[in-house]
Amino acid sequence: MADTLFPTTVIGSLPRPEWIREIILDRKDETISEDETNRLLDPAVESVMRLQERSGLDEITDGEWRRESYVKVFAQRVSGFKPDLIDIQQMLYPAVVEPVEYYRPLVLEEAAFARPRTECRLKVTLPAPYIIGRRMWHPDHSKQAYPVPERLMEDCVPILRREIENLIQTGINTIQLDEPWLSTLVDPRFREREGLTDVQYEMDLCVDLINQVLDGFTSIDTGMHLCHAHFNYTHGTEGPYDLIMPALAKIRVGTISMEYATPVAGGMESLAQFPDGPRLGLGCIDHCDRKIETPEVVIERVEEAMQYVDRERITLHPDCGFSPSVQNPMDLDQAYLKLKSMCQAAHVLRRKHG
């Protein structure tokens, strides 16, 4: 992507129509087989790939349409978890109850299906170890297997590395680790709610785990994504990123993708501290705003970011995945129009600044 000025991509997920959501939940409840699920979802996944191509994107995903959520996919493909034991703001998550073990590919089959079906660059996303530990370790259910969540996080690293090694063989272009908790740490109310008193420790832990997973993978582009979390057009946390910028400078990754279109990110002034090494994945589309941005609005956001980061280092994408979980009610047509506007803005920016 470095050869293209202002390349465009998505973070990962796209809104699922109701019938797709029903299939995913029916598979979870085991009222439909895996084979029948794939028979129904294969053409649907191709359609969401065509949607992204039609919008003009340089890099696409499979929309994550086969997953219940961006993070639960780990628990569904790794042994040691029991579903729906943890209630986080009325959203049920699995809990680790036994030592984790790799028993089937996490997303390899998704990538193998998608790769021959597009000539675009292809991105595959995986949850990062820190978010897995924070989301799916619970003191009432997990202590016998893992006395502390850090032990679970450590055991996730070799599993994720094994998956990435296999994914590289499919010919995908980018691996992205999703790590929203790093940016949610900037919100003091969130830290209080979660009982996180040593912010530096949490940041260092998250960064170290990211580096452990990605170190040595030089034949593929790597990225990580941070966000303020969202459900039904509403963010879960808020605050500028100044607190975590020193931590970002320690991450050995190709692209760091961050939300900047949303007002809850506190403006782009924090980009003055963005590290010199990685590319900036600039969130320039607010997926939580039902209004469709015009290309002019996107251009204005990108040019503001250029005051802090060189144009050659900026990739354009929406703030977050449009629907990180199957339960998240978002509109597919709205997402398409937002992506189309972003890609139109990229063409204008290339002519203007190329």
pLDDT in tens, 140-161: 999 999 999 999 999 999 999 9
Q: Within 13 Å of residue 344, how many CA atoms lie on the same side as its CB?
A: 14
Please check the confidence at residue 329 and state whether its pLDDT lies above 90.
Answer: no
pLDDT at 94 over 80: yes
What pLDDT, on the 0 to 100 scale, is given for residue 28? 93
Confidence of residue 2 (pLDDT cuts 50, 70, 90): low
pLDDT at 248 over 70: yes
The pLDDT score that the predictor gives to residue 212 is 98
82-87 own/partner pairs: CB under 8 Å, 24+ apart = 82/141, 83/28, 85/138, 85/141, 86/135, 86/136, 86/138, 86/141
* pLDDT for residue 353 is more than 90: yes
Q: What angle do CA 262, 267, 270 make, to 5 degrees?
A: 125
Angle at 327 between CA 321 and CA 332, to 5 degrees: 50
pLDDT of 308? 98
Residue 1 contacts residue 58 (beta carbons within 8 Å): yes
Q: How far apart are the C-alpha atoms of 298 and 296, rounded to whole Å?
A: 5
Q: Distance between CA 290 and CA 262 in Å, rounded?
A: 12
Expressed in percent and rounded to 5, the helix, strand and coil fractions of the chain are 45, 20, 35
Sheet holding 314-318, edge to edge: 59-60, 121-127, 174-178, 221-225, 255-259, 279-285, 314-318
More reliable by pLDDT, 2 or 227:
227
Distances (CA, A) of 307 to 2, 314, 318: 19, 12, 20
Helix runs in the chain, H state only: 18-28, 34-55, 72-77, 108-114, 129-136, 149-168, 180-184, 188-194, 199-214, 245-248, 295-305, 332-353
Task: Quote the pLDDT of residue 245.
Answer: 98
Taking alpha carbons only, the member of 67, 61, 65 closest to residue 49 is: 61
**pTM metric for this prediction:** 0.96
pLDDT digits (tens, 9 = 90+) for 186-206: 999 999 999 999 999 999 999
Task: Quick: pLDDT tens for 32-73.
Answer: 999 999 999 999 999 999 999 999 999 999 999 999 999 999
Alpha-carbon gap, residue 283 to 316, rounded angstroms: 6
Q: What is the CA radius of gyration of the chain?
A: 19
20: buried, middle or exposed (CB in 10 Å: 19+, 13-18, 0-12)?
A: buried
pLDDT at 1 over 80: no
Burial (0-12, 13-18, 19+ Cβ within 10 Å), 104:
exposed
| Residue (of 289, 323, 335, 338) closest to 21 by Cα position | 323
Determine the Cα–Cα distance for residues 38 and 44; give it in Å rounded to an integer: 10
Per-residue pLDDT reduced to its tens digit, 265-308 = 999 999 999 999 999 999 999 999 999 999 999 999 999 999 99
Distance (Å, whole) CA 311 – CA 106 = 35
Q: What amino acid is encoded at 88 in this protein?
A: I
Q: Which of 243, 282, 244, 235 is nearest to 263 (CA)?
A: 235
Q: How far apart are CA 150 and CA 77, in angstroms?
A: 20
Domain boundaries, the chain: 18-353
Percent of the chain at pLDDT above 90? 94
Enumerate the β-bridge partners of residue 257. 225, 281
Q: CATH classification of 18-353 is 3.30.1490.20, yes or no? A: no
- The pLDDT score that the predictor gives to residue 90 is 76
Phi, psi of 42 (to 5 degrees): -55, -55
Angle at the Cα of 42 from the Cα atoms of 36 and 45, rounded to 5 degrees: 135
Q: Is the pLDDT of residue 20 over 90?
A: yes
Cβ atoms of 324 and 331 within 8 Å: the answer is no
